[in-house]
Structure 1
Amino acid sequence: MESILALLQDPAAWVALATLVVMEVVLGIDNLIFISILTNKLPEQHRERARRIGIGLALIMRLGLLATVAWIVRLTEPVVTILGNELSWKDIILIAGGLFLVWKATKEIHHHVDPNDREDTLVGAAVATFGGVIVQILILDLVFSIDSIITAVGMTPHVEIMVVAVVAAVTVMLLAANPLANFIEKNPTIVMLALAFLLLIGTTLIAEGFGAHVPKGYIYAAMAFSAGVEALNMWARNSRMRREDK
């Protein structure tokens, strides 16, 4: 109790908390895009429930990882060498998660471009299953969680601050999940843009797993620019439709 009171009175702790919350929310955007595309494959009556269960289980997983933070920190120690690159368990998880994202996003893009395609799509089948969606949400959240927690450990030694930041970020995800998913559902072109984002994120995870650090600012700047271009396209399309209706 005394340690918590000391943190509340420490300005540096508040700065670390604010920084971590922003970082967790930004990292959560990637996860939320993936969740939105996955759950939109379900029947409409099951989508919101799947989002809430998936994000809720993700919160439990992150809190559980925080409880083993000492073990997670050791994931950065090399365990194997591949093609001259020393890889840790963190690197292996990032590479596996990146490959998973690239493969799934590519399959889904193929499905959208070829409407006659009936092979596996982003959720493993033409018709998504509730359990399959939840499992894949947890798989990707594991990848993002380990990466964000290791980053958080480098920013603050206080687990209490990490817990508050994670809870705050997941709360934002819960509030934003339905509006984002509905927006993607109503704007089909956004789906392709979101899938392109997932390809970019997956490629970045693979690169970072092999030791090639890619500054997150470049990634999010590219995503923001693409989103801005698409916003202009949507504005122009809506203006044209209004003129045609007159």
Structure 2
Amino acid sequence: MADLLTLENATNLIMLCFLQAVLGFDNLLYISIESQRAPVAQQKAVRFWGIIIAVLLRVVLLFAMIRLIDALGAPFYEFHWEGILEGGVNFSTIVFVIGGFFLMYTAVKEIGHMLSIDHLDHDVSGKSGKSAVRVVLLIVMMNLIFSFDSVLSAIAITDVFPILATAILLSGLAMLLLADGVTRFLEKNRMYEVLGLFILLIVGVVLLGEAGQAAVHGAEATGMSHEEAHHLALKLFGHEVIPMSKTTFYFSVVVLFAVEILQTGYSRKLNKERHALQEHS
């Protein structure tokens, strides 16, 4: 125990908590939006148990990845369809592709649902088309998919399991404290729910981009140099699939929020001016 109480471990823990907070934003947004698909009376319980189960499974995933990092990182197949699809595939590639397409499908489906007449009936009746158990399972599944980039990044900082597990548990506690507040905000400001769905759409694209380099990072984790591993990068129609940087992602999010805030303010200003003209006429 005394070996854990070092300045290096304390510094790593602070860095890991910051990393989990940065990478956990999209996860928290998904939890808040998806939990609203459950029956109203069970939404808080859905968020609580979804986060609790997901965090516990994330710790198990962390333990497994530390033990099986070579097996999970090593590419098990290489595409050689010249000019169409080239590069290596490992376990992380599959996870990122499935997660990316699932998020994009979910975002597009929910945006279409919000634009339909059925959505208005849904708001009035207060009913939901998904059971609480199904929503919890979806939250847990997507939390694990979101976990891969954060867990892989965390392992790159330190391989001390207690420090890694502590950072994950603290991030889970933060999600528990913030999830209800984020959900209440989205409920009171429904226009931001559409914004959130578009952000999830971007997150899906980010995950697909991560899939392009997953085999490269996995090979490097097994001891291969970057130059040797680079040929494993996925190439689609001759172009290398490059992940979107976190800076670009968060800049896009800030721009989307800025546009929404300005548009909302401008709409309110126009409504006031129209109301004033009606009173004078």
TM-score, normalised with respect to structure 2: 0.77
1:117 to partner: Cα distance: 7.6
**Given the alignment, which residue of 10, 22, 25 partners 1:14?**
10
Does the C-alpha gap of structure 1 residues 3 and 84 become closer, same or farther in structure 2, counting only changes over 3 Å? same
Q: 1:73–1:150: 8 Å Cα contact kept in structure 2? A: no
1:44 maps to which of 40, 52, 67: 40
2:129 match: 127
Output the CA distance in 1 between the equivalents of 2:53 and 2:106. Answer: 22
Give the equivalent residue in structure 2 for 1:213: 243
Deviation at 1:229, TM superposition (A): 2.6
> How far does residue 32 in structure 1 lie from its aligned partner after superposition?
1.2
Give the C-alpha shift of residue 35 in structure 1.
Answer: 1.0
Deviations 1:42-61 (A, max 9, x none): 22211100000000001110
RMSD: 2.4
CA–CA separation in structure 1 for the residues paired with 2:263 and 2:184: 19
Could you say which residue in structure 1 is the equivalent of 2:233? Answer: none
What is the CA-CA distance between 1:101 and the residue it aligns to? 0.5
Corresponding residue number in structure 1 for 2:184 = 182
1:77 aligns with 2:79: no
2:224 counterpart of 1:224: no
48-57 or 102-111, which deviates more: 102-111
2:144 paired residue among 124, 142, 145: 142
Q: Is the 1:72–1:150 contact (alpha carbons within 8 Å) kept by the matching residues of 2?
A: no
Gap runs ≥5 in structure 1:
119-124
Q: Cα offset for 1:116?
A: 4.2
- Cα deviation for residue 72 of structure 1 reads 4.1
Tell me the TM-score normalized by structure 1: 0.87
Q: Residue 39 of structure 2 contacts residue 131 of structure 2 at CA under 8 Å; is this kept in 1?
A: no
For residue 198 of structure 1, the aligned residue among 197, 200, 224 is: 200
Aligned-partner Cα distance in 2 for 1:51–1:116? 25
State the secondary structure of the residue aligned to 2:88.
Answer: strand
Give the 3-state SS of the residue equivalent to 2:76 in structure 1.
strand
Shift of 1:25: 1.4
1:210 alignment partner, SS class: helix
Residue by residue over 1:186-229, the C-alpha shift from the partner in whole angstroms, topping out at 9 and shown as x without a partner, is 11211111111111010111121022232111101111221233
Aligned partner of 2:160 in structure 1 is: 158
Deviates more, 1:169-178 or 1:141-150: 141-150
How much does 1:73 deviate? 5.3
* 1:241 Cα deviation from its structure 2 partner: 6.8
Output one character per residue of 1:61-84: Cα deviation in whole Å (capped at 9) or x when no partner: 011112222214532211122321
Aligned residues of 1:76 and 1:91 also touching (Cα < 8 A): no
Stretches (4+) displaced over 4 A: 235-246
The equivalent of 2:97 in structure 1 is 95
Q: Conserved in 1, the CA contact under 8 Å of 2:38 and 2:132?
A: yes
Amino acid in the other structure paired with 2:249: I
Aligned-partner residue type, residue 73 of structure 2: T
* More moved, 52-61 vs 65-74: 65-74
